[in-house]
Structure 1
Amino acid sequence: MQPLVSIIITNYNYGRFLAEAIESALAQTWQDCEILFIDDGSTDGSVEIARRYPITVLTQNNSGVCIARNNALSLARGENVMFLDADDRLVPTAVEHMLARLRDAPADVGYVYGQMEYFGVKTGLFASQPFDPRKLAKANFVCATTLLRKQVIVDAGGYDDGFRMLREDWELYLRLWSRGYRGEFLPEVILEYRKHKGPTVGTSPTKALTIAMLIKLYPGLMWRHLLKHPWRYGSRLLFGNLRDRVGRYGAHAQESSLTRLDPVLTAQTTGTPFQPPLES
C-alpha cells in the first residue's frame, strides 16, 4: 500500500546525532509513513548506524544536500514528503497535525509549515509567521521542515543545486510561489532545530550572494521589495565583490557558488537532474 507520507532524512557526517533524528521519525503518532535515509558520502559510520533501524537506507557519493534530497525524492512513494536534517528532531505529532492541515487546505497550498524550537548552543523559537509572499521576498520565515505535496515539488524540478551553499529552501519556496503555490502556517512547534557553534547561512556574505541570485531568478517579487525598502540592503551587500564575500566557505565553496551563478541567472526554473542513488 502506498504511504501517505515519506520522511526523507538527509545526512553528512552527523552520525553522533543520527539516532535522535531517526527515532523522532519512527515515534510519529501518524504511522502511515515510510522513512528514507540518504547518506551523502559520510565517513563517520553514519550508514552503519542507520542500518540498525527499520528504514530504507540510500547512499551516494558526496554531492551536496540538494542532490541528496532530489535523489531520495525520486524514490519516495508517499503522496506527501517531509525533509528532515539528520541533526534535528521531529515532535511526535508533527506529521499527524501537518497532514491534517494539508488535507483540509485548498489546492493552491503546496506545503504546510509550523514553528520550530531551537536547542543546542541557542534556545528559543524561530520567528515563523503566516504566509505572505511580500515578506518571503525579504527573508525566509518558513520552518526548516515542511510537509509538501510530492507532485508539487517534483513538477517544480526539486531543489536547485546552485543554492546548496546558500538557502536552498528559500529559493524553493519562492519558486513554488512563482508557480502558483503558497504555504499554510500551522501555529505549533513541529521541529526541534539544533543550533551549532559558529556562523550559519544567515551571515552577510552568504545572504549577499543568495539575494543577488534570487533577484535574477525572481525579479518581479524580489525587486518590488528591494525598491520599497532600499535601506534594508546596501549596494555593497548586494553588488559587492561576491568572490570576496563568500570567504567563510573557503576557495572550494567560492568556486562552487560562483561557477553556478551564470546558469542560475539565465534560467527561470533550474531543477537539478536526478542522479539515482544506490539502495542498500
Structure 2
Amino acid sequence: MDIRDERRTAKDIEAVITSYNQGDMIIEAVHSLCEQTVLPSRIIIVDDGSTDKYSLDILNTIKADHAIPIPVVVIQQANSGVSTARNTGIRKSETPLVLVLDGDDKVKPSYIEQVCKLLHENPSMVAASSWMNTFGVLDSVICPGGGNVSKFLARNCCPATHILRREVWEKSGGYDESMRSGFEDWDFFLSMLETVPNAHIGIVPEPLIDYRTAPASSNVKSMSKRLELMRFIIRKHNQSYQAHIEDAILEIETISMSRLDGWEKEICHTLKEKQILSQASVDFIKSPSYGDGGMAAAVRIASNHQSTISALRTESRRSEKRTISD
C-alpha cells in the first residue's frame, strides 16, 4: 500500500506558501508538506508577481502534477509584498488553522502533527511553531521561546513559519501590508497577542523547520533598518509597551548583557591563547563603553591579562605616533 494512503489528512488545517522568483525551491517547500505525518487538507500557493520565467514554469508544473497527494491552488497577484501575499492566501483558506510557509523554506515531517497538538491542547494559544534548523550559508539551530505579549516586546520570539488560528488573524487585522522592509511577522504576532486576553504563542522545542540562509536574504537586509522598524513597531503597539515597559526594558538589557558577556569571554580566550585581537576588541579595551557594563567588562579583562593589555596599549600608542608622523 502507498504510504500516502496510511496517513491522516487534517481537515482543520490548510497551508499557505508565499513565492517570489524562487525557482525550484518552491518544489522543496511543497514536497515537505507532502511528506508530513499528518497532511494539510489543501496547499495554497500565492505567487507575489514573479517575473522569472523558470519560476513561473515551476508553478505551472506544480499545478499540473497529479502525483501530489494534496489539492493545490496557485494564486498569482501583482507584486505587493509578503504581507499582502500571506493575507491573500489566508483569506482564501477555509480551515480554522493555517500554516504559513515561505517558499524557500521547508518543514520536517512531524511539523504539522506536533505544532497542531500544541494548539489543540491550549485554547489560549493564538499561534505556534518550533525551533529552526538553518541551512545554506549558516548551519545552526535557532531556539525561539514564544510566550505572551510582554515577551514579544523586546524581540520576535516566533519564526515566520508558523500555524495560526484563522479567527484571530481576522480579528487582529492580519499582516500589515504597509510593512515591506521586514519585521512584518514580529508586528503580526504582537497584533495577534493583543487581540485575545491572556494569549500566548507556543513553541515545540525541536528544530522542525529548515530555514534557508543567504547573504542577501530579506531577513539579513532588514537588520540594516532594525532601529527604524522597531520605532514603527513601538509606536504602533504603544499601549502594550506602556503596559509592560519594565519587562520590555529588562528583556532588552538581558539580551545586551548576554552579548557583552560573550564578547568579554571571546577577548579573554583570544588573549589567553596569545592570538591577535580584532581592531574592534582593541578599540573596546582602549575606550570601553560606559553605563552599560562595558567598563566593568574591560576591567575584568585587564585584571586577568594585565601584561598583555599593557603591551596592546603601548603598541596602540606607537601606531598612532607612526600615523601622525606619516
Q: If the length of structure 2 is used for normalisation, what is the TM-score?
A: 0.66
Higher relative contact order (CA 8 A, sep 6+): 1
Could you list the per-position Cα deviations for residues 193-232 of structure 1 after superposition, in whole angstroms to 9, with x for gaps in the alignment?
0001236535543211111011111124335156557878
1:126 Cα offset (Å):
1.2
In 1, Cα distance between the equivalents of 2:183 and 2:102?
14
**Partner residue of 1:37 out of 28, 36, 45:** 45
Aligned to 1:51: 63
> What one-letter code is carried by the residue in structure 1 that aligns with 2:83?
C
In 2, Cα distance between the equivalents of 1:113 and 1:28?
15
**Partner residue of 2:183 out of 167, 170, 182:** 167
**Ranges in structure 2 where 5+ consecutive residues have no aligned partner:** 1-8, 257-326
Aligned to 1:61: 78
Aligned to 2:156: 140
Aligned to 1:150: 166
Aligned to 1:179: 195
Which deviates more from structure 2 when the two are superposed, residues 88-97 or residues 137-146? 137-146
For residues 200 and 32 of structure 1, do their structure 2 counterparts lie closer, same or farther at Cα, with a shift above 3 Å needed?
closer
In 2, Cα distance between the equivalents of 1:173 and 1:122?
25
Matched, 1:96 2:113: yes
For residues 226 and 131 of structure 1, do their structure 2 counterparts lie closer, same or farther at Cα, with a shift above 3 Å needed?
closer
> What is the SS of the residue equivalent to 1:15?
coil
**8 Å CA contact 1:37, 1:50 repeated in 2:** no
**Partner residue of 1:120 out of 136, 142, 149:** 136
Matched, 1:218 2:230: no
> What one-letter code is carried by the residue in structure 2 that aligns with 1:86?
G
> What one-letter code is carried by the residue in structure 1 that aligns with 2:112?
V
Could you list the per-position Cα deviations for residues 221-245 of structure 1 after superposition, in whole angstroms to 9, with x for gaps in the alignment?
3351565578789xxxxxxxxxxxx
Which deviates more from structure 2 when the two are superposed, residues 142-151 or residues 124-133? 124-133
In 2, Cα distance between the equivalents of 1:94 and 1:199?
24
Aligned to 1:190: 208
1:127 Cα offset (Å):
2.6
> What one-letter code is carried by the residue in structure 2 that aligns with 1:159?
Y
> What one-letter code is carried by the residue in structure 2 that aligns with 1:104?
E
> What is the SS of the residue equivalent to 1:201?
helix
1:91 Cα offset (Å):
0.4
> What one-letter code is carried by the residue in structure 2 that aligns with 1:34?
R
> What is the SS of the residue equivalent to 2:178?
helix
In 2, Cα distance between the equivalents of 1:123 and 1:172?
27
**Partner residue of 2:11 out of 3, 24, 42:** 3
* Matched pairs, number: 232
> What one-letter code is carried by the residue in structure 2 that aligns with 1:206?
K
Matched, 1:108 2:108: no
**Partner residue of 2:147 out of 131, 153, 158:** 131
For residues 72 and 230 of structure 1, do their structure 2 counterparts lie closer, same or farther at Cα, with a shift above 3 Å needed?
closer
**8 Å CA contact 1:78, 1:150 repeated in 2:** yes
5 Å matches for 1:18-37?
18-37=26-45
**8 Å CA contact 1:79, 1:151 repeated in 2:** yes
1:32 Cα offset (Å):
4.4
Aligned to 2:287: none
**8 Å CA contact 1:126, 1:143 repeated in 2:** no
Structure with a larger share of its residues in helix: 2
In 2, Cα distance between the equivalents of 1:161 and 1:81?
19
Could you list the per-position Cα deviations for residues 140-175 of structure 1 after superposition, in whole angstroms to 9, with x for gaps in the alignment?
121221111111111211110122212111001111
Could you list the per-position Cα deviations for residues 104-130 of structure 1 after superposition, in whole angstroms to 9, with x for gaps in the alignment?
11x321111211110001011113114
Q: If the length of structure 1 is used for normalisation, what is the TM-score?
A: 0.76
> What one-letter code is carried by the residue in structure 2 that aligns with 1:183?
I
1:52 Cα offset (Å):
3.8
5 Å matches for 1:236-275?
none
1:49 Cα offset (Å):
3.7
For residues 112 and 220 of structure 1, do their structure 2 counterparts lie closer, same or farther at Cα, with a shift above 3 Å needed?
same
In 2, Cα distance between the equivalents of 1:64 and 1:204?
17
> What is the SS of the residue equivalent to 1:159?
coil
In 2, Cα distance between the equivalents of 1:154 and 1:35?
19
